[in-house]
Amino acid sequence: MTAAILDGKKLAETVREEVRGGVATFTKKYGRAPGLEVILVGEDPASQIYTRNKEKAAKDVGIRGKLHVLPTGTSESTLLAELYRLNADDAVDGILVQLPLPSQIRQSRVLDAIRPDKDVDGFHPTNAGLLTSGRPSLVPCTPRGAMKLLNLAIATLAHTTLEGAHAVVVGRSNIVGKPMAQLLLAANATVTLAHSRTKDLAGTCRQADVLVAAVGKAELVRGNWVKPGAIVIDVGMNRIHVAAASPGETSKTKLVGDVAFDEAKEHAAAITPVPGGVGPMTIACLLENTLIAAQARLAARG
Ligand code: GUN
C-alpha cells in the first residue's frame, strides 16, 4: 500500500482564503481590521522566523499584525506590563507570546496573564479547561490544524470514520499532545495518550487506526510501527544533519518529522509530509483563531 499524501500547504491556503473573506466582512462591519500582536523575547533563530511568518501571514489576509521584539534580558514584570497594556487595548483581538521564553521569565505567569478571550494560542488554563470540559473556545493552533488534516484524510478515504476508531497520540505537551487527545475524544475516537515513558511504544502505535506523532524526536516512529491502513499525522519538525555526499562537500541540514516518512507511507492509507503537512496549518489556524476572537469579543457587545 502506498499512502495518500495529505497536502497541508493546499489546505492551509483554503483556510487562509476563508479567513481573508471573514476579515473583509469584519472590517466593513466594525470599521477596523482584527488586530494580532505577536511578542518575541530574545533572539532564538527559529522563533525569529516563526514570529516574522506569523506577522506576515496576518497582514496577508488583512489582519493588522504587529510583531514586538523584546531584548533577551527583559524582566518578567516588563513583559507582564506589556501584556496588561495589550489586554486593555480595545483594538487588539489576539495576543501571542512566542515560546520558549528566556529562563528568567516564568512561562506559567505569562500564559496566565493573557486575557482568555484574546488568547489566540489557546494556552490559558481557562481555554485548556473549556476544551477538556467539551466546551471548546479558542483551541491551540497546531492540534486544530492537525484535526483539519485528519478530516481531509477521512473525506479522502471515504470508508473511514473517527467514530470509535483507536487514536494513539504520542507526546503529552500542553501545546499539542493533550489538546489533540481532547479533540479526538470530542470526535468520539478511543484515545490513548502515549509518551516517552510508555511501555512498548511500538506495540501501542501498531494498534492505532489514527496515529499522531508529536514528540519532537526525528523519525522515532518507524514504518513497522504503523498498522496497515492507518492515518498518520506527523506534527514533528526536527532539523537533522545529513552527511556530505562526497569529500569536500559541506554537510547539509534537512527538516524531518517524528515519523520515518518513506517507511511509513508503505503501510499507512494516508500520511502528512514534513515539511508541507501540519506546519502550514498552524499559522492558518492562528489567523482563524484571531478572526474568531475578534468576532466573539465584538459580537458580545451586541
Ligand atoms: N512555540 C512553538 N510552538 C508554539 C505555538 O504554537 N505558539 C507559541 N506561542 N509558541 C510556540
Dihedrals φ, ψ of 88, to 5°? -85, -10
| β-bridge partners, 192 | 168
Q: What's the 51 CA to ligand 1 centre distance in angstroms?
A: 9
The answer, yes or no, to whether any atom of ligand 1 lies below 6 A from the CB of 298, is no
Dihedrals φ, ψ of 225, to 5°? -90, -10
Tell me, what's the pLDDT at 158?
Answer: 82
Chain centroid to Cα 52, Å, comes to 16
What positions carry a catalytic annotation?
54, 98, 121
Amino acid identity, position 231 = I
Tell me, what's the pLDDT at 120?
Answer: 98
Tell me, what's the pLDDT at 99?
Answer: 97
Q: What's the 100 CA to ligand 1 centre distance in angstroms?
A: 8
Q: What atom of ligand 1 comes closest to residue 99's alpha carbon?
A: 10
Tell me, what's the pLDDT at 57?
Answer: 98
Calpha distance 118→293 (Å, rounded):
6
pTM score above 0.85? yes
Tell me, what's the pLDDT at 159?
Answer: 74
Q: What's the 160 CA to ligand 1 centre distance in angstroms?
A: 31
Cβ-contact 105, 76 below 8 angstroms = yes
Strands (E), 43-176: 64-70, 94-97, 166-170
The answer, yes or no, to whether any atom of ligand 1 lies below 6 A from the CB of 175, is yes
Tell me, what's the pLDDT at 245?
Answer: 79
The answer, yes or no, to whether any atom of ligand 1 lies below 6 A from the CB of 141, is yes
| Start-to-end Cα distance in the chain | 54
Residue among 79, 83, 99, 111 whose CB has most ligand 1 atoms within 8 A, to mutate: 99
Tell me, what's the pLDDT at 20?
Answer: 98
Instruction: Average pLDDT across each block of 10 residues of the chain; the chain has 302 residues. List them in order.
Output: 94 98 98 98 96 98 98 98 98 98 98 98 98 97 98 90 97 98 98 97 98 98 98 96 83 94 98 98 98 96 80
